[in-house]
Every structure is written in C-alpha cells, then in structure tokens.
Amino acid sequence: MKGNKAFQFRMYPDDEQKTMFAKTFGCVRFVYNKMLEDRIDHYQKTGKNRKTTPAKYKEEFPFLKEVDSLALANGQMNLETAYGNFYRGKGKIGFPKFKSKHRDKDSYTTDWVNGNIAVADGWIRLPKVGRVKIKQHREIPDGYRLKSCTVARTPDRKYYVSVLYEYEDQIPEHKAESATGLDFSMKELYIDSLGNSPEYPKPYRKAQEKLAREQRKLSKCKRKSNNYYKQRVKVAKIHRKVANQRKDFLHKQSRQITNAYDAVCIEDLNMKAMSQALNFGKTVADNGWGMFVAFLGYKLEEAGKKLVKVDKWFPSSKTCSVCGRKKDDLELSERVYVCECGNILDRDVNAAINIRKEGMRILGMA
C-alpha cells in the first residue's frame, strides 16, 4: 500500500535566512495575486479564461528570479485549485480571493527535484536558502521518499517546515475482535461504552482570562505601531500554546484508544451545525472533536484497524441499550436514561453502548 506521511520540524533560521523566507513569502503572494488579476481582466474583456505561468512575469519583475522557482509554481497550482473548487462547488465555495500582505500566517511549498531538498543530522537543506537548523525529534524511516516540503511562519514569528514523504508499506489486517463505542460529550470530549471518560483539560477556557487581558491591551495600541506588533505576537503565543495543549491531549487519547481496540464506533456528527444550533461554539471548538476523529482515523488505518461512523440520525440516546425500546419523548435535559424494563443508566453511557452495537452490526461482528 502506498501512502503519504508528513513530518513537521521547528526551524531556527539565522537573520539572512529569515530575510530569504520573507522574500519568498512575498513573491509567492505577489505571483498569486498578479495571475488572479490578469485572469479576471482577461475574462472581463473576452469572456474566456486564460492560464498564465510565473515565468511570464520574471522579465518585468526581476526580483522573482531571486527566489525558488518551484515555490512560485506551487503558487500557480494553488490558484488553479482555487478556481477548480469554485467551479465544482457550484456557488457553495467562493471565488478565489487576493492574498493580503498583512496575513497572520505565511507559507510556501516547494518540491523535491534532483536532491534539492535533504534532511539529515538536525539540518534541512532548502532551495535558495541553504542549510537551516531544525529540531529533529524523530528519524525518517528507511524507504521513505521525499516529495515536497512546506515552510511556514506562524503569527508568533516561529518557523516550521512540514516535510512530505511517500512510502510503501504492508498494513496488517486486524480481525476486529474488540470494539468500543464513543459518544460525544460537551464536557469530557467523549464517554465510551464502559462509562469511562477522559479528564479534558479545556485549554482555551483556562487561558480565556489571560487571553482577554492581552487582547484588551492590543485593542488600545495604535495600529501598525511597534507596540501593536509586539502585543499581537503576545496574543498569538497564547493561541499557539492553547492549540498545542489541545493537540497534545488529542494525540495521546487517540493513541491510547488505537492501542486498546480493533474497532472504534462513533457517530458521524456535523460539529459546525451543532455549535451553531446549540450556541455552544466556544465549547465545541475547545473540545476539538473533529481533530480527534481525524487523529483517530489515521492512527487506526495505519494499524490496520477500523473506524466505524454510525449515521447521525441513529437514535443512540433515545434507544434502551438493554431491551431496545425507543423513548421518543426523551428531553435533552434528562441526563439519566430510565426505561420500563428497569434499565437506569447515564444517558451518554447508554448512547455509547448503542453506538458500539450499531457499529458492530455494520462490521458484521454482532
């Protein structure tokens, strides 16, 4: 089986390399905007689409020759993707937009060609930049073939590189013998079919007071002043810490579940719609359920195990996990499920058991 895997490393560029990164970010943005502008003008004049390439602009704008040409080519591919998404989306996806110079995050992608990119011994070699020191927290497995890398500068002015590799691996098929059901919980992230739930740290809620204080300071700074940019970095660092805490917790939880079970059954929920309908936007975003499902999915796939998504309209909360009787008049405020058969169980645990049963039926394990 062929697959792709990305490794992200923190970079520590010197001042000269930072200048080259900034120049590349700017040139990629410039080429993207210029091609978009020319395509719009051409369509307004002729009614036809016209594709252009970065090479067209290099004579008129010589500074484009100073940066990695593959980064500019990827900027062109991003524009083509944006146009493709717009046409396929049939109005649901907006028309491509111009990229602002004042975005909080900058990035560019370059491809591996004839050994122009290499990772070894705590360094990465990049076109036009040279060797940049990285924090290499893991070794690249043998047989992995480098495809491309994406350089990014975060709002808190830290540099990262995401290196994409292609590999061929034989994934062992696990016979699904053990399974668990997970029911989404607003407070604990999830409750499993055994009644266990993680102690979710709620990083955003804990940092909310400090974040509000720093954002008030930012609002009082004069825009585009030195103090404004310094304070904006402080706010960005808090957001970065919250995001890292959330990702760390979700990675550990998804790894524990993957190691413990052969199949994991969950509901196929629309979290965006749920946050809007129930007015729980901050809580849903802080939980990161969508990110958790993504982590769980690829970890189970790499281990040859199964992630089963039960239909979101399946009445997991309203059905008794013992006798199967459905309780249509169950209110959201009722946190304990009481059935005529004598089953008295926490509402979320009852739902998790039903999700597990339905998932096992889908897999043919029931």
Query: Are 21 and 48 contained in the same domain?
Result: yes
Query: Are 142 and 218 contained in the same domain?
Result: no
Query: Are 186 and 156 contained in the same domain?
Result: no
| Final residue before a domain boundary, out of 146, 168, 190 | 168
- Examine the residue annotation and report whether 209 is marked as an active-site residue of this protein: no
Catalytic residue among 192, 262, 286, 348: 348
Q: What is the pLDDT of residues 268-300, one digit of tens each?
A: 887 776 666 555 667 777 788 889 999 999 999
Q: What is the pLDDT of residues 247-274, one digit of tens each?
A: 999 999 999 999 999 999 998 887 776 6
Label residue 308 by pLDDT band (50, 70, 90).
very high
Closest CA to 25 of 124, 164, 135, 128: 128
Chain centre to alpha carbon of residue 310: 22
**pLDDT at 222 (0 to 100):** 92
**pLDDT at 279 (0 to 100):** 59
Query: Are 290 and 217 contained in the same domain?
Result: yes
Query: Are 231 and 266 contained in the same domain?
Result: yes
Query: Are 131 and 192 contained in the same domain?
Result: no
CA distances from 56 to 51, 66, 88 (A): 11, 15, 28
**pLDDT at 330 (0 to 100):** 77
Query: Are 129 and 188 contained in the same domain?
Result: no
Q: What is the pLDDT of residues 114-135, one digit of tens each?
A: 999 999 889 999 999 999 999 9
Q: Is 174 among the domain residues?
A: no
CA distances from 2 to 6, 118, 165, 352 (A): 14, 21, 11, 34
* 246: enclosing H helix or E strand: helix 226-260
**pLDDT at 39 (0 to 100):** 92
Helix axes 226-260 and 203-220, enclosed angle (nearest 10):
170
Label residue 302 by pLDDT band (50, 70, 90).
confident
Q: Is 158 among the domain residues?
A: yes
**pLDDT at 281 (0 to 100):** 61
Label residue 343 by pLDDT band (50, 70, 90).
confident
Given a cut of 80, is residue 57 above it in pLDDT? yes
Average pLDDT over residues 300-322: 88
Catalytic residue among 68, 106, 111, 183: 183
Query: Are 205 and 161 contained in the same domain?
Result: no
**Unique residue bearing structure tokens 């491809």:** 111
Label residue 33 by pLDDT band (50, 70, 90).
very high
Q: Is 45 among the domain residues?
A: yes
Given a cut of 70, is residue 153 above it in pLDDT? yes
| Final residue before a domain boundary, out of 168, 196, 224 | 168
Query: Are 153 and 56 contained in the same domain?
Result: yes
Q: Is 85 among the domain residues?
A: yes
**pLDDT at 277 (0 to 100):** 58
- Examine the residue annotation and report whether 267 is marked as an active-site residue of this protein: yes
Computed over every residue of the chain, the mean pLDDT equals 88
pTM for the complete prediction?
0.81
Given a cut of 60, is residue 89 above it in pLDDT? yes
Label residue 354 by pLDDT band (50, 70, 90).
very high
Which residue segment(s) compose the domain that 246 sits in? 179-363
Residues 304, 316: contact at Cβ < 8 Å?
no
Taking the C-alpha atoms of residue 293 and residue 190, their distance in angstroms, rounded to an integer, is 11
Q: Is 147 among the domain residues?
A: yes
Query: Are 94 and 163 contained in the same domain?
Result: yes
**pLDDT at 274 (0 to 100):** 67
- 3-class DSSP state of 216: helix
Label residue 103 by pLDDT band (50, 70, 90).
confident
Query: Are 162 and 233 contained in the same domain?
Result: no
Given a cut of 80, is residue 230 above it in pLDDT? yes
**pLDDT at 90 (0 to 100):** 65
**pLDDT at 152 (0 to 100):** 96
Taking the C-alpha atoms of residue 250 and residue 258, their distance in angstroms, rounded to an integer, is 12
% residues pLDDT > 70 (the chain): 95
Q: Is 325 among the domain residues?
A: yes
Given a cut of 60, is residue 50 above it in pLDDT? yes
- Examine the residue annotation and report whether 348 is marked as an active-site residue of this protein: yes
Average pLDDT over residues 70-78: 95
Q: Is 273 among the domain residues?
A: yes
Query: Are 183 and 118 contained in the same domain?
Result: no
The count of structural domains within the chain is: 2
Torsion from C-alpha of 77, 78, 81, 83, nearest 10 degrees = -100
- 3-class DSSP state of 155: coil
Q: Is 173 among the domain residues?
A: no
Label residue 327 by pLDDT band (50, 70, 90).
confident
**pLDDT at 364 (0 to 100):** 79
Label residue 346 by pLDDT band (50, 70, 90).
confident
Average pLDDT over residues 187-194: 89
| Final residue before a domain boundary, out of 116, 141, 168 | 168
Catalytic residue among 106, 214, 262, 267: 267
- 3-class DSSP state of 89: helix
Taking the C-alpha atoms of residue 156 and residue 347, their distance in angstroms, rounded to an integer, is 42
Strand 263-267 and strand 306-310: the pairing is: parallel
